Amino acid sequence: MGLGLAGYIPLAVYVLGLGVAALVLFWRTELGLYFLVPLLPLENVLSKVDRYPAGKDLVDILVAAMVIGWVVRGLGKKERIFAKTPLNLPILLLAGTSYIALWRGSSFLGLDPPLALGDPRLMNWKNYMILPLLYLITVNNVKSVKQIMLLVLLMAGSMILMDFFFYNELRWVKTWHYSHKMRIEGSFRYLSANSIAAFYAEYSLVLLGLIFFDKLKRRRLLFMMILLANTYCLMFSFSRGAYLAGLVGGIFVLFVARRKYLPLLFALALGGLFVAPRVLPVSVVERIDMTMEKENDGVGGDAKFDSSAEARLDFWAYAIDVFKANPVFGRGFDTFIRSHPERMDTHNMYLNVLAEMGLVGGTILMLLFFLSFRDGWKLYRVSEERFLRGLGLGFSGCVIACMISNIFGNRWTYVPLSTYYWVFWGLVMRGRILAQEKSAGWELQETGENT
C-alpha cells in the first residue's frame, strides 16, 4: 500500500484469523463474522494466506469455529439454537437437492470413485454451502441493532479497501478508448471483471437505501463517499450487465424512497440519454455501443449483437438443450462446464441451474430470490428504526440487481461475490425479528396499562 507493509498483511491476517477462531470457539460467535465477512471479498489478500500452514483452510476453520461455538453455547444455555425464519426450510431444501445433484453429476461424468475428497466439484459444493451457513450464523448470533450497524460498517469499510485496490490497478491502464485489455478484477483474483462489477452494482444499492434513511449524518456522509467510489469502479469495470443491474435496482430504490420526486427523476433520465454520451468517459460509451454493431464494417447492413453477446446466445442454446434432456432433476451439480465441448459455462445462472438441477433447482432458486426481496421489503415497511428501514429497502434493490446480473453469468455461487448477499439477508431477517419483538412488547405494555 506504499508503506512497505504489504508483505506483512497476509501474515497478520493469518495470525489474527487463528486468534479470532479461538475467541469464537470459546467466547462470542459474532466476532467471527466481524472478522471474516469483510475479509471474504478481499480475495487478493486471502489468496496470499495460503502460503502458511493450513492457510488455505482459514475460511473453513473460522466458519467451523463459529458453528461449533454457536451450537455448543446454545445447548449449554438450553436456548433455541435456530431462530424461526422463513428461510430455514428453503436452506435445507437447497442443501439437500444440491447434494443429491452432486452425486447425480458424478454418475453422469462417470467418476470412479463418485466423490473423492479432492474432487473439485465437492469443493465447489462445500464453498457454495458456506453462503447459506453464513446466513444462519448471522441471523442467530447478531442480536441487536448496534451489532447490525457494526457489521454493516465493517462491510462498508471493506468496500473502501476494494475501491483502493481497484483504483490502484486501474491507474496504470490507459482508459481513453475501450479495449478488452482494460478490464481488471480489483480485489478479486479468481473471478472475472464482470464479477467485481456485479459486486459493486448489487451492494452499492444497500448503501443507497441507508443514505436515504439513516438519521446519523456522519454515517450518511460515509456511505455517500463509498457509493461514489463504488460507482467510479463500476463505471470502469466495463460490464454492461452490471450497468443494467445497478441502473434498474437504483431506480427502484429512488422510486420508493423519493416517490414525490418521480417527475423530476423521469426528466433527468430523459435528459441523461442525451447528456450521458457527452459526460461519460469515451471508453465507457464505446463499451455500451459495442452491444449492437453494424454488419459490413458499420456501413449500411443490419445491426447485430457483438461477438461476446453472440457467444452467450450459443451457450444459452446449448444449456436449453441439456435442460430439455433432463428437465426435472438436471444433469447434476457442476457438470455443465465439464461436459461443454469448449469447456465453457452457461453465462446465465438461471439456465445453469436448469441444466444442472432441473425444474427442482430452478424453483428453489426463484423461491430464494422471492423470499429475500420480500424480507427486505417487509423490514422497510414495518421497522420504526430508520437504519433498519434503509437496510431493508437497500437490500430489496440489491435483490433486483442480483436477479438481473445473474442473467449474464454466475453471480450466485461464489463466496467472494455472494457473501454480502447472504449476510445482509441475515441482518435483514434479524431486523425483522427485532421489529416484531418491539411490536409485541408495546402490545403487552398497552394490555397491562388497560388492565
- Domain-by-domain residue ranges, the chain? 1-81, 86-450
- The grid coordinates of residue 115 equal 466423490
> How much is the pLDDT for 343?
74
| pLDDT (tens place) for every residue of the chain, 451 residues total | 444 566 789 999 999 999 999 999 999 999 999 999 999 999 999 999 999 999 999 999 999 999 999 999 988 887 788 888 999 999 999 999 999 999 999 988 888 777 877 789 999 999 999 999 999 999 999 999 999 999 999 999 999 999 999 999 988 887 777 777 888 889 998 898 999 999 999 999 999 999 999 999 999 999 999 999 999 999 999 999 999 999 999 999 999 998 776 676 666 666 555 555 666 777 777 777 776 555 545 454 555 566 666 777 888 998 999 999 999 999 999 999 888 777 778 889 999 999 999 999 999 999 999 999 999 999 999 999 999 999 999 999 999 999 999 999 999 999 999 999 999 999 999 999 999 887 765 544 544 555 4
Distance set, CA 192 to CA 186, 225, 417 (Å)? 9, 25, 11
pLDDT at position 286 is: 74
Beta carbons of 2 and 9 less than 8 angstroms apart: no
The rounded distance, in Å, linking the Cα atoms of 274 and 421 is 34
**Nearest partner of 282 among 178, 193, 167, 170, judged by Cα:** 178
Instruction: Return the pLDDT at 451.
Output: 44
CA distance 247 to 249: 6
pTM of the model: 0.92
Tell me the three state secondary structure of residue 294: strand
3-class secondary structure, 144: coil
The confidence score (pLDDT) of residue 391 equals: 98
- Rounded Cα distance, 425 and 248, in Å: 20
**Which residue has 438441477 as its cell numbers?**
357
Sequence letter at residue 161: L
Using CA atoms, how far apart are residues 406 and 171, in angstroms rounded to an integer?
A: 29
Residues 32 and 21 sit within 8 Å (Cβ to Cβ):
yes
CB within 8 Å of 405: residues ≥ 6 apart = 198, 201, 202, 241, 242, 245, 411
Contact 142, 373 (CB under 8 A): no
Position of cell 446466513? 135
